[in-house]
Chains A and B, each alone.
Chain A
Amino acid sequence: MIAELSGMLDYAFMQRALVGGVAIALMTGLLGVFVVQRGLAFLGDGLAHASFGGIALGALVAYGAAGSGVLSQPLWVALPFTLTAALAIAWVRDRTELSSDTAIGVFFAVSVALGVLFLSRIPPDRNVVDVWHLLFGSILAVGPGDLTIIVVTSALVTGLLAAAWGRLAYATFDAELAASDGVPVRALDYALFAVAAVAVVVSAQVVGIVLMAAYLVIPAAAARLLARTLAAMTFGAIAIGTTTTVAGLVISFFADVPSGSAIILLQAAVFLVATIVGRR
């Protein structure tokens, strides 16, 4: 078994999948705690679909720029596009009586419509975006360039969230109480949405929208069922996310099943067990 596992690690694509997957699990686990506790489970999906609009626009720009410079990479257009959508969602929430889900739903629909519109302007043979890949992705297809972007993004997102954890958690517990103690609640709201946008765009482009949305919600939700403090929930979410990533990749390697499905189904299994054995 040891020999087989080390044989698995001989493959460079497997090494990249492991490192990239763990990096994504780390930042989405930390982020997921706030997504779940603030009732924003829909945010991951919404932002991922916003990133679809952004990536489609990026592809259109890349087609227009005929493959020169940074514009040939749809990510660099998708990033500001999704960031704008995230801040717009936060702004609509802030300025109106509408709930988060409603605000997200509006931008979700608009972004997908824009994405389809942008892609329709590109001749199929010149299109650099594979919609199927964007939806379902493949963690096994993480290239060396992707890996660098994932690891750097994960380090940034994890660092920022860890630094703001105490104040973010306080504002999540009770925004008014936190504000009365001088916590910049509104600024933190916008910052959380911005950080989520960056994490979602980068993860979704690599592992696909479906797997990314799972990472953002399932580990944190399972950890919530097992933990009695927010700190324990945070460590639990990261632990569940990273171990299911590694285990899912091992299973997919030996059992020849799609890696994304293996990871999500493992997370779902942990969630199920947590539901049964959890407190209350």
Chain B
Amino acid sequence: MDATPTPTPTSTPTSTPALRMRHVTVRRGDVEILRDIDLELGERRFLAIIGPNGAGKSTMVKVLLGLVAPDRGEATVFGRAAGSDPVRVGYVPQLKTFDRSFPATALELVVSGIRRAWPGRVRRHEHDAACEALERVGAERLTDRPLARLSGGELQRAYLARALVRRPDLVILDEPATGVDFLAEHDLNRLLEGYQRDADATVVMVTHDLAAARHHASDVLVLNRVVIGFGPPERALSGDCLERAYGHVGHGHGLVVP
């Protein structure tokens, strides 16, 4: 399969790209999860990553977070090795990773985003910052609620507040919409756009929702172990790219076709 990465020119050619991958290959055993990924994304862009299940989307997120070291190639975020600057990155994980038996409130979850450790006693300024972040995502009434009692949509807001509370320059979301109803998903994309504008931030979102990718993203990466297509939505989401990524479009891949 011929991978034809088409790097998006950054707004000012001299500025450091928000993220850059050079020949990134990740193997698990004999399987190549990602092969020879070349990618460059300028600051203040909104990148949607789409691709079928098992395409390596989550692995790519883990590479960007510094959780998975590439077997070959290198990944940088704001010019430094991925994972070396966690304060500048806000991460919203898939909801399924969360352990519901853990005694915690939404407030504590958000404060963990400030402290980068779990809070024992929440300090005044942390409390204020966390409440502000919860308010920003429309979840101020969740503050003292136990996480175990939150719905999928509420949890997602709490996680988003956790990611945004440190005012990151890069927000990374791994399938944030899974298990969330349409309205909440629409809210999420609107909130992300709002934050991106206010903070001049870059957003990277793994999604199954082609409509969201088309409407909200400035760039789309179509991934299936290799880069199938990369560029503005209208180009990357052409029938040809999707055909190559998914085999055939819109049948049983959990895809939401626009």
Range of interface residues on A (Cβ < 8 Å): 20 to 34
- Check B104 against A230 for contact (C-beta < 8 Å): yes
- Chain A CB within 8 A of B116 CB: yes
Please count how many residues in chain B sit with their CB below 8 Å of the partner chain's CB atoms.
27
Distance between Cα atoms of A229 and B102 in the complex (Å): 8
CB of B67 within 8 A of CB of A179, answer: yes
Q: Could you tell me which residues of chain B, from 67 to 124, have a CB within 8 Å of some CB in chain A?
A: 67, 83, 86, 89, 91, 93, 97-99, 101-105, 108, 112, 115-121
Q: Which of A220-235 contact B (CB under 8 A)?
A: 224, 227-234
Asked if B86 and A180 make an inter-chain contact with CB atoms under 8 angstroms apart, the answer reads yes
Q: Is A176 an interface residue (CB 8 A)?
A: yes
Return chain A residues, CB-CB under 8 Å to B108.
229-230
Contact status B67-A176, CB under 8 Å: yes
**Contact indicator B103/A232 (Cβ below 8 Å):** yes
In contact, B67 and A180 (Cβ under 8 angstroms): yes
Interface residue A182 (Cβ < 8 Å from any Cβ of B): yes
Q: Of the candidates B91, B98, B99, B105, which one forms a contact with A229 in the assembled complex, judged by CB atoms under 8 Å apart?
A: B105
CA distance A182 to B98 in the complex (A): 18
The answer to whether A230 touches B67, judged by C-beta atoms less than 8 angstroms apart, is no
Q: In the complex the two chains form, what is the Cα distance from A228 to B97 in whole Å? A: 20
Q: A174-B93, A179-B67, A180-B86 are in contact. Are A228 and B105 (CB under 8 A)?
A: yes
* Distance in angstroms between the alpha carbons of A202 and B234 in the assembled complex: 67
Identify the closest chain B residue to A36 (Cβ).
B101
Docked Cα-Cα span, A233 to B102, in Å, equals 10
A5 within 8 A of B: no
Query: A230's closest neighbor in chain B, by CB?
Result: B103
Inter-subunit contact A174/B97 (CB<8 Å): yes
Whether, in the assembled complex, B138 has its beta carbon less than 8 Å from a beta carbon of chain A, the answer is no
Q: Which one of B102, B115, B116 lies within 8 Å of A37 (CB-CB)?
A: B102
**Chain B residues, Cβ within 8 Å of A265:** none
Question: Could you tell me the distance between the alpha carbons of A177 and B93 in the complex, rounded to whole angstroms?
Answer: 7
The B-contacting residues of A in range 176-192, CB under 8 angstroms, are 176-177, 179-183
Within 8 A of B (CB), among A224-253: 224, 227-234
Complex: A179 Cα to B115 Cα, angstroms = 14
Whether A167 is near chain B, meaning CB under 8 Å from some CB there, is: yes
Whether A136 is near chain B, meaning CB under 8 Å from some CB there, is: no
Confirm or deny: B146 has a beta carbon within 8 angstroms of a beta carbon on chain A.
yes
Q: Which residues of B contact A (CB under 8 A)?
A: 65-67, 83, 86, 89, 91, 93, 97-99, 101-105, 108, 112, 115-121, 146, 148
**A interface with B by C-beta (< 8 Å):** 37, 165-170, 172-174, 176-177, 179-183, 224, 227-234, 279-280
